[in-house]
Chains A and B, each alone.
Chain A
Amino acid sequence: MGLIRLFRKKSPWLLHFDTGSCNGCSIEVVAALTPRYDIERFGMLAKGTPRHADILVVTGPITKQCLPRLIRIYEQMPEPKAVVAIGSCPASGSVFHDCYNVVWPLDKHIPVIAYVPGCPPKPEAIIDGLVKALARLK
């Protein structure tokens, strides 16, 4: 098991899930994936399915409509897994604070390893959060 975990840490694949965000954070997440920031030096790649992913990257204030889908996607991910919340929205609601249709904070629903604050956070900050999540993925 030790060997598998060791090599798994070299390829922490990402799944980006947008829970009703304004797309600002989503764009910064995509920017972090570009060669300019070169997130692949940590072996991180964006994946299209939760079954191949190790880190769930969540943006947005979690709408009521989205929550069951988010939990379902989280449950579909194989262990070991980590959740990183990007932006102010999953932590505090940000501009959607008092909206009738949002159910932030994210850690009320699924366990979160790192919050990356910012509206939106810089790609450098996102990478920092992801690397911190990586250390906890052991």
Chain B
Amino acid sequence: MMKANEVAEVIKEYVDEIKIENVRRVFATTDEERCRAAMLALKQRDVQHLSTISGVDRGDAITVVYHLDCRPALLSLKLNLPKSTPKVQTITDIFPGAILYERDLMEMLGVKVEGHPDPRRLFLADDWPAGVYPLRKEAKK
């Protein structure tokens, strides 16, 4: 049970910039090294619900956004990755619900998730070619 300013207090040492939109909405940007630490700190404060993980291709970089429900506050934790070698550490050991979101991230945007327990494809057709990521900007029909 955390409001926006409490969430900001918990994660402030793991993130670069925090934007508090209102009492129920927080945005923050972190990096690869501190991402898991931020999640663990939130878990310590009884955050149990990872709403979803979304990915955005921004042309020169890929942004992975972890949406965490801190009740009533909603935190969107952004992680910018280089387009050439996008990789993140798995968070399935912290939030087991992340398993499907991370599989989705791997096949749709080609983000490598290290330590994922089940890195199979999720949605794409059986004969989909390897190395083609449909949600990237350069993907054509």
Which chain A residues have a beta carbon within 8 Å of chain B's beta carbons? 63-65, 98-101
Contact = CB atoms under 8 A, between A and B. Distances in A.
Contacts of A64: 125, 127-128
A100 B125 CA distance: 11
Interface string B96-130: 00000000000000000000000000001111100
15 contacts: A63-B125, A64-B125, A64-B127, A64-B128, A65-B124, A65-B125, A65-B126, A98-B141, A99-B141, A100-B134, A100-B139, A100-B141, A101-B124, A101-B125, A101-B134
Interface of B: 124-128, 134, 139, 141
A63 B128 CA distance: 12
Contacts of A100: 134, 139, 141
B141 to A, nearest CB: 6
Nearest to A97: B141
Nearest to B139: A100
Contacts of A99: 141
B110 to A, nearest CB: 13
Contacts of B127: 64
Contacts of B141: 98-100
Instruction: Name the residue in A65, A100, A101 with the highest tally of chain B Cβ atoms < 10 Å from its Cβ.
Output: A100
A24 to B, nearest CB: 21
Q: Closest 9 interchain pairs by CB?
A: A100-B134, A65-B125, A64-B125, A100-B141, A98-B141, A100-B139, A101-B125, A65-B126, A63-B125
Contacts of A101: 124-125, 134
Contacts of B139: 100
Given A65-B124, A65-B126, 4 more contacts: A98-B141, A99-B141, A100-B139, A101-B134
Contacts of B126: 65
Instruction: Name the residue in B125, B126, B128, B139 with the highest tally of chain A Cβ atoms < 10 Å from its Cβ.
Output: B125
Contacts of B125: 63-65, 101
